[in-house]
């Protein structure tokens, strides 16, 4: 199998010529890894959606997987999906019905409309997210991406020097509050303490630097609150300008894989009280997760 890599307009690439529902040779996994190091976002157009186990097997080729139980916790222990590696980013409850207007799980997902980087709120950062479209709404519910590597590269040398070395605190509860989700218990907060990361991140394989930003980013360590907020907001506005932008319009069966350390993303609105959007994510991490 050879990898057919078609670069998209500004960044990202569509990958053809391989069947990711099947076990991949190590050489193909290496070629995908090399492609994502260059392009940041990879689009696989599949004739049919992957099964849960196929999606998990594909992701497992790229690193240790995240097992997350946030939605299970918020849903009172109930979960729709059997595999702990699958993050349920649908608008469905554990029975497969659209979650109600007041359901906590709905409001927990509202912050996905903000520009973010998956799992930046954890010390063990996400590397790749692999998102599979199972059922799509008739309009909206797309995913926008921004190229954090391109944004860093376009900064002046003076600006790069000012930003290199700054440390940022990230908290999922900060982004949730921005999204309007504030009714969080102390016990729930304790499950996800904040984490600190550099504002500039370097790809461990290529050394290429990128801005590491997210709606989870609450403040710059050691800076006054207003200056810290102003810089983070300024950088997010700058890094999501049209020149660094790719908007993915989903087709059923699509799998999109992105590097969380070189991109940001956000979901777009859709009529989520009427239409189903069933998306499932598997995420690779920098290190094995302690469970
Ligand atoms: Fe996300």
Dihedral sign, Cα of residue 216, residue 220, residue 221, residue 224: negative
Whether 265 maps to a domain, the answer reads yes
260 alpha carbon to ligand 1 midpoint, in Å?
A: 9
139 alpha carbon to ligand 1 midpoint, in Å?
A: 19
Whether 290 maps to a domain, the answer reads no
Whether 171 maps to a domain, the answer reads yes
Whether 73 maps to a domain, the answer reads yes
166 alpha carbon to ligand 1 midpoint, in Å?
A: 24
d(Cα 261, Cα 239) in Å, to the nearest integer? Answer: 14
Task: Return the CATH number at 9.
Answer: 3.60.130.10
- Expressed as residue numbers, the domain containing 172 is 4-285
158 alpha carbon to ligand 1 midpoint, in Å?
A: 31
Whether 204 maps to a domain, the answer reads yes
Q: Do 271 and 91 touch, CB atoms closer than 8 A?
A: no
57 alpha carbon to ligand 1 midpoint, in Å?
A: 20
Query: Please, what is the average pLDDT of the chain?
Result: 93
Q: 180 CB contacts (<8 Å, ≥6 apart)?
A: 107, 110, 111
214 alpha carbon to ligand 1 midpoint, in Å?
A: 10
149-206 pLDDT tens trace: 999 999 999 999 999 999 999 999 999 888 888 888 888 888 889 999 999 999 999 9
Structural domains counted in the chain: 1
Pairing of strands 143-147, 263-267: antiparallel
- Whether the per-residue pLDDT at 48 is higher than 70: the answer is yes
18 alpha carbon to ligand 1 midpoint, in Å?
A: 25
91 alpha carbon to ligand 1 midpoint, in Å?
A: 14
Whether 116 maps to a domain, the answer reads yes
- Whether the per-residue pLDDT at 90 is higher than 80: the answer is yes
Is pTM beyond 0.85? Reply is: yes
Whether 114 maps to a domain, the answer reads yes
230 alpha carbon to ligand 1 midpoint, in Å?
A: 23
143 alpha carbon to ligand 1 midpoint, in Å?
A: 9
Ligand 1 (single-atom ion) residues, CB below 5 Å: 118
Residue 75: the pLDDT is 61
Identify the band that residue 231 occupies on the pLDDT scale cut at 50, 70 and 90.
very high
* Mean pLDDT to the nearest integer, 137-158: 98
Residue 172: the pLDDT is 93
172 alpha carbon to ligand 1 midpoint, in Å?
A: 12
- For 211-228, letters b (16+ CB in 10 Å) and e give bbbbbbbbbbeebeeeeb
Q: What's the angle, vertex CA 112, arms to CA 120 and CA 39, rounded to 5?
A: 65
116 alpha carbon to ligand 1 midpoint, in Å?
A: 6
* Mean pLDDT to the nearest integer, 61-73: 81
Whether 291 maps to a domain, the answer reads no
Cα separation of the two ends of the chain: 36
Q: SS3 letters for the chain? A: CCCEEEECCCCCEEEECCCCCCCCCHHHHHHHHHHHHHHCEEEECCCCCCCHHHHHHHHHCCCCECCCCHHHHHCCCCCCCCCCCCEECCCECCCCCECCCCCHHHHHHHHHHCCECCCCCCCCCEEEEEEEEEECCCCCCCEEEEEHHHHHHCCCHHHHHHHCCCEEEECHHHHHHHCCCCCCCHHHHHHCCCEEEECEEECCCCCCEEECCCCCEEEECCCCHHHHHHHHHHHHHHHCCHHHEEEECCCCCCEEEEECCCEEEEECCCCCCCCCCEEEEEEEECCCCCC
């Amino acid at each position: 199998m050879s990898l057919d890599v078609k670069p998209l307009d500004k960044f990202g690439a569509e990958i053809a010529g391989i069947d990711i529902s099947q076990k991949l040779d190590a050489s193909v996994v290496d070629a995908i890894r090399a492609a994502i190091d260059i392009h940041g976002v990879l689009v696989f157009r599949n004739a049919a959606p992957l099964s849960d186990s196929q999606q998990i097997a594909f992701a497992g080729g790229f690193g240790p997987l995240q097992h997350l139980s946030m939605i299970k916790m918020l849903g009172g222990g109930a979960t729709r999906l059997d595999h702990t590696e699958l993050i349920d980013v649908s608008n469905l409850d554990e029975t497969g019905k659209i979650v109600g207007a007041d359901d906590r799980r709905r409001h927990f997902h509202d912050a996905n409309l903000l520009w973010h980087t998956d799992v930046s709120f954890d010390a063990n950062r996400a590397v790749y997210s692999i998102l599979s479209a199972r059922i799509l709404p008739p309009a909206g519910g797309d995913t926008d991406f921004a190229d954090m590597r391109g944004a860093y590269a376009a900064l002046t040398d003076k600006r790069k020097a000012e930003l290199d070395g700054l440390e940022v605190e990230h908290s999922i509860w900060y982004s949730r509050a921005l999204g309007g989700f504030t009714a969080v218990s102390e016990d729930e907060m304790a499950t996800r303490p904040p984490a600190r990361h550099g504002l500039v991140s370097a790809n461990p394989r290529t050394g290429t630097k990128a801005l590491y930003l997210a709606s989870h980013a609450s403040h710059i360590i050691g800076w006054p609150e207003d200056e810290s907020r102003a810089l983070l907001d300024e950088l997010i506005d700058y890094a999501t300008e049209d020149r660094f932008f790719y908007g993915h319009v989903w087709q059923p069966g699509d799998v999109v894989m992105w590097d969380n350390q070189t991109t940001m993303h956000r979901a777009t609105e859709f009529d989520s009280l009427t239409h189903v959007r069933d998306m499932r994510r598997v995420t690779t991490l920098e290190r094995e997760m302690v469970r």
